[in-house]
Amino acid sequence: MQTVSVDDFTRQSFDFIIIGGGTAGLVVASRLAQHGKFTVGVLEAGGVVNGRDEVEIPAFFGRALGTDIDWKFESTPPGTQGGVKDQWPRGKGLGGSSAINYMGWNRAGRVDYDAWVELGNPGWGWDDLLPFFKKSETVHPPSSSTQEEQDIRYDPNTLGTSGPIQITYPDEYSPSHQLWIKGLNSLGVETNPAPYSGSNAGAWTNPSSLGLHTKARSFATEYCSLAGSNLYILTEALVEEIILVKADSGYVASGVRFTHNGQEYTVSASREVILSAGTIKSPQILELSGIGNPEILSRAGIDAKVDSPMVGENLQEHKALIFVVDVDPELENPDELILDAEKAAAAREQYDQDKTGPLTTMPGSFGMVPFTKAIQQGALDKICSQVDALTGLSPEKKALLEQRLRNPDKIGLMEYFFKLGAGAFGGADSRHGIIAQILQQPFAAGSIHVQPKSAATDDPVIEIGYYHGPAGEIDLELMLQSTRFARSIMLAPPFNSVVRQPFLPPASAFEDDEQMKQIIKSGTRAALHAVGTCAMGGNAGIRGGVVNERLQVYGVQRLRVVDASIMPLQISAHIQATVYAIAEKAAHMILEDVAAQ
């Protein structure tokens, strides 16, 4: 991985400038540089994070949050709902959020991606994206004994075997894992025989972005080995704006202005500027550059160049509620590695010596549950009637979301996962675990915009209002009704031999709807899967989104956005694998467009 000095960077003549050396940015940069004919520059606000324990060691996932390699964003309090500020961690360093996330690797269902096409974005359906999912990954199957013991199933024809990101299943499993799967089975949630093949509904074992032999995080910096000396990466470079030049047909992106160690610089791109700063930073940089809603730009003291009203709008995030539960004290609990210094030291020695033991394990007990399983039919019919009366969504999006409620057979719209250990979630000692309930398809959307009189060093304003307005009321009811299913999981044999009783909230809360609603409102947190703020506009064009299906920014030539912000609708999956696929497809499209010129 080649990082250079600011002097070396600024003396280059670049074909492409990529803003952001994160998950998507390094994929696009490396694939373009791999082509061999182009000089590619990457501007990254953070530094190199490879080699840090909190990045590399699997069981240390989550420890990087709140550190110097996290942007440490916060959302605004949700108005009069009595909520609190929510933490919105994002990776600040080469690799972006792929360096600090929880390493979950899964795909959404066919209907999620085909919905993007139905909105008017050809080329973004399941069949279109599958080759790029496969191109990004090397999936290492579990041993035959592990596969049989843990009932791990998948279709190898849909998985990649030569991509840069290494995907592995855990070598060791807690006794609770199979009990979790069987407990879901007893509730009618069947084990999915091919969860990466177009239907993610059901119970299954989730792999992680983890090296097979290194037992270290596999993340976006792996892509840099594809490129040669024509890839230049500058770290600690904060982008101030994209330079736009007036042309007869609008504006052309010609380069980027940025600061490094307090000094201001500009660089030019002869072919394209590619914005890959993520769902939070990408709309902020567009607005700082004069692309956005003129009223918002005016309040920030920014001259409006391109009237693009959807910049920063359409913010969609998975809504997570954590249940802390008392568990069987005889089970080996990961929290003991934190609470017991002797066990922690022994685990570290084992990891350093042969890359085995507790520090290599990752949670893999997942269930993606259709609402027809999680919610009683009468309650679901009532929610559907609320959707019928809903305004504020485009007719196309409303129809797609409503269809998923009514016909969700092959899509899991409520995620549940189980993890032993709850130290970060209110557990007092090692005798706790967590069950997470995560709403996959929220109706309510938020926004991300620059602050008034804003500068690049200011954090943008994240307005999410999880349960605000009629759309938020639908989300609240979906979460409330689904808590009953969460309680059913705790009681389901044989998993009920693991969970003794709810701890936070207590068992009594599950019997009181009003109390549970307050718990949901105050306890919901972002699942760190935000999308949509620079979405593909589809049939609605610039009035419905920010980029077209080639990810080109409306109203600006030679400027694209490539990251999670381009998703027009949220998906029923952790987004990491999809972001890699988006970036792989984007690089392919860019090379196609160059060849056609």
- The candidate with the shortest Cα–Cα distance to 439, out of 313, 573, 564, is 573
- Asked if 529 is an active-site residue, the reply is yes
Residues 296 and 365: their CA atoms lie apart, in Å, by 44
- The candidate with the shortest Cα–Cα distance to 234, out of 41, 62, 372, 14, is 41
Give me the helix-helix angle, 469-491 and 513-523, nearest 10°.
110
Which residue type sits at 112? Answer: D
Give the β-pairing of 231-234 and 556-557: unpaired
Asked whether 563 and 281 are in contact (CB, 8 A), the reply is: no
Q: How many CB atoms lie within 10 A of CB 155?
A: 12
Asked whether 72 and 254 are in contact (CB, 8 A), the reply is: no
211-216 contacts: CB < 8 A, separation 24 or more?
211/166, 211/168, 212/140, 212/166, 212/168, 213/355, 214/166, 214/355, 215/58, 215/351, 215/355, 215/356, 215/359, 215/360, 216/56, 216/57, 216/58
110 half-sphere exposure, CB direction, 13 A CA radius: 8
- Token pair 């559907």 is found at 384
Find all residues with CB under 8 Å of 340, minimum gap 6, and list them.
none
Asked whether 464 and 78 are in contact (CB, 8 A), the reply is: yes
Find all residues with CB under 8 Å of 503, minimum gap 6, and list them.
324, 325, 326, 422, 426, 427, 432
Task: Indicate the SS3 state at residue 159.
Answer: coil
Task: Indicate the SS3 state at residue 352.
Answer: helix
Give the β-pairing of 556-557 and 250-260: parallel
Asked whether 412 and 200 are in contact (CB, 8 A), the reply is: yes
* Catalytic residue (one of 260, 449, 574, 588): 574
Tell whether 239 is in a known binding site. yes
SS (H, E, C) 400-452: HHHHHHHCCCCCCCEEEEEEECCHHHCCCCCCEEEEEEEECCCCCCEEEECCC
- Element spanning 366, H or E: strand 365-369
And the tokens for 538? 């589809």
Within 223-333, strands assigned E span 231-234, 237-247, 250-260, 263-275, 291-292, 306-307, 319-327
* Catalytic residue (one of 177, 318, 468, 529): 529
Instruction: Verify cis geometry, omega within 30 degrees of 0, for the bond prior to 505.
Output: yes
Task: Indicate the SS3 state at residue 292.
Answer: strand
**Maximum separation of any 2 CA atoms in the chain, in Å:** 73
Asked whether 430 and 339 are in contact (CB, 8 A), the reply is: yes
Catalogue the active-site residues: 529, 574
Binding residues for FAD, as ranges, are 239
